[in-house]
């Protein structure tokens, strides 16, 4: 339910009323809309800002009109409100009213509720009830009676700020209203303080008392500060709470957030004293320091606070007290210098605490010279020039106030330079930026620069880095367009000699970096270039030389700098690549760099063959053969060619135009330096000639590599013979070892070689005929059985079992390509096994029989699976064909008449598997039926007609000629495009498998042949024509399809 509030304006004049024009109309402007979640039966204004609503369950809702907030809800069912039902239902006249009016009468109370003078009267069955809004004071007192002091203060403060709703009883202007409310809040605060102390737990842990006061005391402080009654807070309230020591401590601690947020700037001297003592007792020195720097210093005992801060190392607070309390900006620096200067002058390292002091001193000096107060705020504008002058005069003092006889000149500048040279010079640089170019500023700048030069150049206790920082600072200042500083150029020459001293090997990189920074910021103008480069080369400052050569565009000489620099040698490749690749360099510059790189190509290859090969392949591809000819070191040439030609090294081979001779040269070097990697490298290389490469591998007796190349050439038998010869030689050695020693290291070698030979035979047996297969497998079997023939039964040793295992491995693998009868016949025809008993080959025969049994079981299982699959498919096909058809509708899809209403005797009903139903006459009229061999062949009109009523395609002519294999012929207007035809062909190829009939025929033939015995050798080779020998043969063992019952 929604209640809307409107602004109504009515303009009524007699003329306008007479004419009835728009000016006499009532203008209504919608202001707000109140959405209710209950049924409303009465709406009453109690004043201009507050509305009282009565809902259907007799609950009063007090609503603020402006914010639409529900202020209160009251249950008035006890009033027993009188409803005017009899009038609305017209009971006196017989109730002849509409149902709507009668329904409204159930809750009609218009005459029972009335408002007047801020009151609402409710008529009950036994009495009259009056409702009114309490005044603001009554509302506060009501909360006080309920002992809700915090809520009473919050409500009173909302009255004070004008944020409360439904306020009654406040009159006069805003200041008068606030004063009245403030007095009442003060009374409540006194009551609240008394209650805080009375309700404090007398017994228990101190933590319980602290928690009690932490919950109560901040409320008092908060409202006193909101009312701006600090006099009340630090007098009566503080005295009252000081009666309890725990309450006093909590009171002092809760002042901290107000001090840090600058809401409380000052307090009485007594409270401030107690605050400092409390923080000192609690060892909260950092919190106390944070409070001091935010407070009005007039409320502090300056001497006491300074002593306290110095004893507890509160340097920020000490500086703040000196600056704000006494306008003294020099005394804090003197105190800090006295602490950090002695260990620095003695060359000792500072403790962490003194390092903190030194850092604070630098920041303080920076703030003073920049016109900023420390640690926060700004120095008053009238004091800024005075403070700057005082700080400068202090820094450039010749001696300190309490100088000893041996004190060096300018102690303050010297101390800061020793502490942190770079940061001190940065402070001066920032100060020089802010200086105006008046006479005094220029004098100060020149004076401080002269002092810096005197202190650092005339003393040897500064490091090269520190001296370099000074001259870098000076170079930056001298490079400014409005520079007024003067520095003797001789000093820069002295610094150059100091940094480039070849006799001093210490801090080499530091001295070079310092000189480089000095040149980069503009110090180059202070030196003679023809003198700088020789000194840099003598000192081995190659980065300096690079900087100078780059200024003169001598990029080829920079290559020498990189090659001589042991730290940056590897970076020379990137430098050459950038010069030759990045635009912006002239052709002459690139040519000079190209020539220099070619001159040092051997040195580049020694540095990194991989990076050098990448560089050559990118920029010098036309010079590769010349580089190869000029390289005298064969191992270096090998590393270069491997990085260049091996694809695994990452260089793109497509961009290289190399002759096969280069690749063959690399292969020969590889055979010499790394023969173990020849085979795997040949497998990834591309550009080489087979005949020449075979000669190279045979020359170096690398049999596996030769076998791989022969196989790649197509000479499978030659590859096999090479590996077989290697196997025989190892077996021969093993036979000798059996007689002489018990070494076992050859067994692993023989097994590895045998595995490779078997893999070679398996890879190529698919493409060979039976005779060629036997030429591979039988010599291998003979080679493995020959050591066993040589061993007598009494001389068998521990090698006989491993050899038999390897022989069985050969038999198991060759059985997949050679018929088992052929294998057995070959074994029995052997002269060694052909006479005597078969005990020596009993293990071989039994192993072959086990293999046969396993394959027979596998064959039977496969046959059963195929038969079951075929049976299931045929059953489902039969069930689908014999299943009854369920038409989608009971009318013909052509004439749209129900088939039941047609009475023609000759008219038949045709139902298709798609669910469409037709009259036979209708189908004939659409040429959807054709008679073939005395039977009618019907086609669905809707499924085969693309234009819903158009003519069928001319494929019916083919059907009439006898091509009636399918009833679903496509029309000429729905031909497939090329993409659809290609997709359909791909789908057919994907799901095309071996014919099930062919599988069953093959399995039947195989099982029939088993009855002839194992030793019956077949005349032909049926295995070659078997579907199982086809490499594309796959078994589609899918679960049977689900069919609808």
Please, which contacts does 774-779 make with residues 24 or more away whose CB atoms are closer than 8 Å?
A: 774/818, 774/822, 775/717, 776/716, 776/717, 776/720, 777/810, 777/814, 777/817, 777/818, 778/818, 778/826, 779/720, 779/724
pLDDT tens digits along 205-215: 788 888 888 88
The pLDDT assigned to 359 comes to 92
The pLDDT assigned to 269 comes to 80
- Residue of 408 and 827 predicted with greater confidence: 408
pLDDT band at 292, cuts 50/70/90?
confident
Q: Which of 869, 922, 933, 929 is nearest to 899 (CA)?
A: 922
Query: Beta strands of 921-968 (E only): which ranges?
Result: 929-932, 935-938
SS3 labels along 409-474 = CCHHHHHHHHHHHHHHHHHHHHHHHHCCCCHHHHHHHHHHHHHHHHHHHCCCCCCHHHHHHHHHHH
Q: Kind and range of the H or E element at 53? A: strand 50-55
Which residues contact residue 649 at a Cβ distance below 8 angstroms, ignoring those fewer than 6 apart?
A: 610, 613, 642, 643
d(CA 718, CA 731): 20
Q: Quote the tokens at residue 479.
A: 């490079």
d(CA 191, CA 600): 96
The pLDDT assigned to 991 comes to 53
pLDDT tens digits along 679-698: 888 888 888 888 898 898 88
On the question of pLDDT at 615 being above 70, the answer is yes
Sign of torsion, CA 321 327 329 330? negative
On the question of pLDDT at 820 being above 80, the answer is no
Q: Which of 945, 880, 891, 937 is nearest to 913 (CA)?
A: 880
Q: Which of 1016, 997, 1014 is nearest to 1005 (CA)?
A: 997
Query: How would you label 116-127 residue by residue, b for 16+ Cβ within 10 Å and e otherwise?
Result: eeeebebbeeee
pLDDT tens digits along 844-876: 666 677 777 887 888 889 889 988 888 888 888
Q: For residue 910, what are the β-bridge partners?
A: 918
The pLDDT assigned to 453 comes to 83
On the question of pLDDT at 515 being above 50, the answer is yes
Instruction: Give CA separation, 859 vs 1000, 1031, 1034, in Å.
Output: 12, 18, 14
Instruction: Give CA separation, 907 vs 210, 379, 743, 927, in Å.
Output: 106, 115, 98, 16
On the question of pLDDT at 38 being above 60, the answer is yes
Say what angle helices 269-281 and 285-292 make with each other, to 10 degrees: 150
Question: How many angstroms separate the most distant Cα atoms in the chain?
Answer: 148
The pLDDT assigned to 1000 comes to 63
Q: Quote the tokens at residue 88.
A: 């609305």
Q: For residue 130, what are the β-bridge partners?
A: 121
d(CA 842, CA 570): 68
Rounded to an integer, the average pLDDT of 267-287 is 85
Please answer whether residues 486 and 477 qualify as being in contact, where contact means their C-beta atoms are separated by less than 8 angstroms: no
Q: Which of 690, 643, 650 is nearest to 670 (CA)?
A: 643
Please answer whether residues 131 and 122 qualify as being in contact, where contact means their C-beta atoms are separated by less than 8 angstroms: yes
Q: Kind and range of the H or E element at 4? A: strand 2-10
Q: Kind and range of the H or E element at 117? A: none
Q: Quote the tokens at residue 822.
A: 């052929």
Which residues contact residue 1015 at a Cβ distance below 8 angstroms, ignoring those fewer than 6 apart?
A: 821, 824, 825
pLDDT tens digits along 357-384: 999 999 999 999 888 998 888 888 888 8
d(CA 976, CA 49): 79
Please answer whether residues 396 and 448 qualify as being in contact, where contact means their C-beta atoms are separated by less than 8 angstroms: yes
Q: Kind and range of the H or E element at 918? A: strand 917-919
On the question of pLDDT at 16 being above 60, the answer is no
- Looking at the chain, the number of H-run helices and the number of E-run strands are 48, 13
The burial of 213, by beta-carbon neighbours within 10 Å (0-12 exposed, 13-18 middle, 19 or more buried), is given as: buried
- The percentage of the chain sitting over the pLDDT mark of 70, rounded to a whole number, equals 80
Which residues contact residue 1028 at a Cβ distance below 8 angstroms, ignoring those fewer than 6 apart?
A: 1002
On the question of pLDDT at 905 being above 60, the answer is no
Q: Which of 511, 573, 503 is nearest to 538 (CA)?
A: 503
Helix, strand, or coil here: 105? helix
Please, which contacts does 688-693 make with residues 24 or more away whose CB atoms are closer than 8 Å?
A: 688/660, 688/663, 688/664, 689/660, 689/664, 692/660, 692/664, 693/664, 693/667
Rounded to an integer, the average pLDDT of 540-551 is 86
Query: For the ranges 274-283, 471-480, 856-865, which has the lowest average pLDDT?
Result: 471-480
The C-alpha R_g of the chain, in whole angstroms, comes to 55
The pLDDT assigned to 988 comes to 62
DSSP per-residue string spanning 843-881: HHHHHHHHHHHHHHHHHHHHHHHHHHHHHHHHHHHHHHH
Please answer whether residues 133 and 104 qualify as being in contact, where contact means their C-beta atoms are separated by less than 8 angstroms: no
pLDDT tens digits along 1004-1017: 555 444 433 333 33
The pLDDT assigned to 1045 comes to 41
Q: Quote the tokens at residue 678.
A: 């020849």
Q: What values do phi and psi take at 967, rounded to 5? A: -90, -15
CA torsion 434-437-438-441 (nearest 10°) is 50
pLDDT tens digits along 91-110: 555 556 666 666 666 677 87
DSSP per-residue string spanning 298-337: GGS-HHHHHHHHHHTT-HHHHHHHHHHHH--SSHHHHHHH
Please answer whether residues 159 and 137 qualify as being in contact, where contact means their C-beta atoms are separated by less than 8 angstroms: no
The pLDDT assigned to 953 comes to 37
Sign of torsion, CA 594 598 603 608? positive
Q: What values do phi and psi take at 109, rounded to 5? A: -135, 30
pLDDT tens digits along 547-573: 888 888 888 898 888 888 888 888 998
On the question of pLDDT at 842 being above 80, the answer is no
Q: Quote the tokens at residue 891.
A: 């009318």
d(CA 159, CA 144): 16
pLDDT tens digits along 621-651: 788 888 888 888 888 888 888 888 887 877 7
């Amino acid at each position: 339910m929604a209640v809307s509030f409107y602004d109504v304006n009515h303009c009524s004049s007699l003329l306008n009323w007479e004419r009835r024009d728009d000016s006499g109309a009532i203008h209504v402007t919608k202001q707000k809309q109140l959405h209710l979640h209950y049924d409303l039966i009465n709406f009453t204004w109690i004043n201009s800002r507050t509305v009282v609503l009565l809902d259907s369950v007799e609950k009063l809702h007090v609503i603020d009109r402006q914010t639409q907030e529900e202020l209160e809800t009251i249950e008035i069912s006890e009033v027993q409100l009188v409803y005017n039902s009899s009038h609305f239902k017209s009971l006196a006249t017989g109730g002849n009213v509409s149902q709507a009016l009668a329904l409204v009468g159930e809750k009609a109370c218009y005459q029972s509720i009335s408002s007047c003078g801020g009151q609402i009267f409710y008529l009950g069955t036994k009495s009259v009830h009056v409702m009114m809004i309490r005044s603001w004071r009554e509302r506060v007192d009501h909360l006080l009676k309920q002992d809700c002091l915090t809520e009473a203060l919050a409500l009173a403060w909302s009255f004070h700020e004008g944020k409360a709703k439904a306020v009654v009883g406040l009159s006069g202007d805003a200041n008068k209203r606030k004063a009245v409310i403030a007095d009442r809040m003060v009374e409540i605060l006194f009551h609240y303080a008394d209650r805080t102390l009375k309700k404090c737990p007398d017994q228990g842990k101190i933590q319980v008392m602290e928690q009690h006061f932490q919950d109560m005391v901040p409320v008092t402080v908060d409202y006193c500060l909101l009312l701006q009654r600090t006099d009340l807070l630090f007098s009566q309230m503080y005295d009252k709470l000081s009666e309890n020591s725990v309450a006093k401590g909590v009171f002092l601690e809760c002042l901290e957030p107000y001090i840090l947020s600058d809401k409380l700037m000052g307090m009485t001297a007594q409270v401030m004293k107690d605050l400092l003592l409390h923080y000192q007792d609690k060892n909260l020195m950092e919190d106390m320091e944070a409070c001091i720097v935010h407070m009005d210093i007039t409320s502090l005992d300056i001497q006491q606070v300074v002593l306290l801060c110095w004893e507890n190392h509160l340097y920020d607070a000490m500086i703040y007290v000196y600056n704000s309390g006494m306008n003294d900006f020099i005394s804090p620096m003197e105190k800090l210098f006295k602490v950090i200067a002695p260990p620095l002058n003695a060359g000792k390292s500072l403790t962490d605490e003194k390092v903190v002091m030194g850092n604070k001193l630098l920041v303080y000096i920076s703030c003073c010279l920049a016109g900023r107060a420390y640690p926060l705020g700004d120095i008053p504008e009238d004091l800024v020039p005075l403070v700057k002058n005082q700080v400068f005069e202090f820094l450039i003092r010749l001696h300190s106030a309490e100088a000893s006889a041996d004190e060096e000149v300018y102690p303050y500048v010297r101390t800061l330079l020793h502490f942190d040279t770079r940061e001190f010079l940065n402070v001066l640089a920032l100060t020089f930026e802010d200086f105006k170019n008046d006479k005094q500023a220029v004098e100060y700048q020149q004076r401080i620069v002269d002092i810096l030069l005197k202190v650092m150049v005339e003393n040897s206790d500064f490091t090269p880095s520190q001296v370099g920082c000074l001259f870098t600072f000076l170079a930056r200042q001298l490079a400014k367009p409005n520079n007024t500083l003067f520095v003797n150029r001789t000093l820069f020459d002295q610094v150059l000699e100091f940094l480039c001293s070849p006799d001093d090997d210490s801090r080499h990189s530091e001295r070079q970096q310092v000189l480089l920074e000095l040149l980069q910021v503009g110090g180059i103008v202070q030196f003679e270039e023809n003198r700088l480069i020789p000194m840099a080369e003598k000192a081995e400052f190659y980065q300096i030389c690079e900087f100078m050569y780059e200024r003169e565009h001598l990029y080829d000489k920079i290559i020498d700098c990189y090659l001589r620099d042991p730290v940056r040698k590897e970076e020379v490749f990137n430098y050459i690549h950038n010069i030759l690749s990045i635009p912006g360099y002239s052709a002459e510059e690139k040519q000079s760099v190209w020539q220099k790189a070619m001159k040092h190509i051997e040195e580049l290859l020694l540095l990194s063959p991989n990076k050098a090969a990448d560089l050559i392949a990118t920029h010098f591809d036309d010079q590769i053969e010349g580089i190869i000819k000029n390289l005298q070191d064969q191992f270096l040439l090998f590393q270069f060619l491997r990085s260049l030609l091996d694809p695994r090294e990452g260089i793109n081979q497509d961009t290289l135009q190399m002759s096969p001779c280069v690749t063959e040269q690399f292969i020969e070097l590889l055979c010499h330096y790394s023969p173990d990697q020849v085979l795997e490298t040949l497998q990834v290389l591309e550009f080489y000639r087979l005949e020449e490469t075979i000669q190279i591998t045979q020359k170096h007796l690398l049999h596996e590599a030769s076998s791989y190349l022969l196989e790649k050439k197509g000479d499978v038998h030659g590859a096999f013979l090479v590996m077989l010869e290697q196997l025989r030689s190892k077996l021969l050695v093993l036979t000798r070892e059996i007689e002489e020693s018990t070494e076992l290291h050859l067994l692993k070698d023989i097994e590895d070689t045998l595995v490779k030979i078997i893999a070679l035979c398996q890879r190529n047996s698919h493409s060979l005929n039976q005779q060629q297969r036997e030429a591979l497998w039988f010599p291998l079997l003979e080679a493995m059985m020959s050591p066993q023939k040589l061993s007598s039964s009494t001389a068998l040793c521990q090698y006989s079992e491993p050899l038999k295992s390897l022989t069985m491995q050969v038999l198991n693998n060759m059985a997949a390509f050679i018929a088992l009868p052929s294998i057995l016949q070959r074994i029995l025809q052997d002269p060694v096994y052909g006479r005597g008993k078969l005990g020596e080959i009993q293990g071989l025969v039994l192993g072959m029989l086990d293999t046969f049994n396993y394959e027979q079981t596998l064959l039977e299982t496969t046959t059963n699976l195929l038969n079951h699959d075929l049976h299931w498919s045929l059953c489902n096909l039969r069930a689908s064909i014999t299943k009854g058809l369920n038409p989608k509708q009971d009318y013909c899809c052509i004439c749209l008449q129900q088939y039941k209403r047609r009475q023609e005797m000759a008219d038949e009903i045709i139902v298709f598997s798609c669910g469409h139903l037709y009259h036979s006459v209708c189908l004939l009229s659409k040429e959807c039926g054709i008679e073939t061999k005395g039977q009618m062949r019907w086609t669905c009109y809707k499924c085969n007609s693309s234009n819903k009523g158009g003519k069928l395609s001319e494929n019916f002519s083919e059907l009439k000629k006898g091509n009636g294999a399918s009833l679903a012929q496509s029309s000429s207007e729905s031909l497939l495009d090329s993409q659809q035809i290609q997709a359909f062909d791909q789908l057919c190829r994907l799901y095309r498998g071996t014919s099930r009939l062919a599988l069953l025929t093959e399995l039947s033939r195989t099982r029939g042949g088993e009855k002839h015995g194992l030793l019956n050798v077949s005349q032909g080779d049926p295995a070659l024509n078997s579907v199982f020998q086809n490499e594309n043969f796959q078994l589609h063992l899918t679960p049977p399809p689900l069919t609808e019952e």
